[in-house]
Amino acid sequence: IALSLGNEGLAHCPAAERRAAQHRFEQGLLDMISMVLAMDAMPILGGVYPNNDYNAETYAMLKETARTMATWNVPIFEWLPVLDDGHGRWKESLYFDHAHPNTEGQRHMFECIDLSLFAHAGEDIPQLVRRRSSLSQLDSSERQTSYSYLDEAVQASQAAESTAHGEPIGPPAFEDGRGFSIVLCRGAISIRNKTEDEYVVSAEWQGLSRAL
């Protein structure tokens, strides 16, 4: 399973929509992992990779997603370290266009594939002890990626983006009274969590469903 955060719009979407794009990408991977396991097959992920339109903020989010994927207990072909120029963009001579590798870049990606993974077809599928995205419920003993050093910067940029478009962020569409809220802005859903807990946002949360 090899997909791109760039294809989810991370490189070009408004700042207020970046967290949603990140979460959509991660949750989509988790859904496909479940589908693969339901077929009694072993999921293997292609790691994240560069895009020449990433900036410092989106590059940090790209690396955060890579760290999150590493907790899912599935094999990953780690492409970013061999393709990345250190700023989220392609190393010189490894890209065809802003979003895709050239032949040499593809060769580097191929060399990251652990071929020994395909030599154990008769063994049981490893148990995935935890599969989650950055915004999902975690046990307290696990690393909480939602509270990264990015969050304050991301929230500040979201506010600046909304104000720049003449649409300052209005009152929350939903609040739980403990510090968790959801704001709707230009069709995007922005999640604010000032608590020390992490939340699962689902249709089964009736109060939230009614508000949205």
For the ranges 38-42, 179-183, 208-212, the lowest mean pLDDT is seen at: 208-212
What pLDDT band is residue 33 in, cutting at 50, 70 and 90? confident
pLDDT score of 155: 52
Is 119 buried (19+), middle (13-18) or exposed (0-12) by CB count in 10 A? exposed
Report pLDDT for 197: 80
Q: Across residues 30-43, what is the average pLDDT?
A: 85
Residues 152, 157: Cα–Cα separation, whole Å: 9
pLDDT at residue 89, as a whole number: 94
pLDDT, tens only, 78-133? 999 999 999 999 999 999 999 899 999 999 999 999 888 776 555 554 443 334 44
Whether 139 has a pLDDT exceeding 60, the answer reads: no
How far apart are alpha carbons 204 and 145 in whole angstroms? 24
DSSP conformation letters of 6-55 = GGGTTTTS-GGGHHHHHHHHHHHHHHHHHHHHHTT----EE-----TT--
Among 139, 87, 77, 132, which Cα is nearest to 108's?
77
Query: Taking residues 27-49, what's their average pLDDT?
Result: 87
* Whether the predicted pLDDT of 140 surpasses 70: no
Q: In this structure, what token pair is assigned to residue 208?
A: 């939230």
pLDDT score, position 50: 95
Q: How far apart are the first and last CA of the chain?
A: 32
Residue pair 188/19 in contact (Cβ under 8 Å)? The answer is no
pLDDT tens-digit readout, 148-202: 334 455 555 555 555 554 444 556 778 887 888 887 765 567 787 888 787 777 7
What is the CB-side half-sphere exposure of residue 168 using CA atoms within 13 A? 2
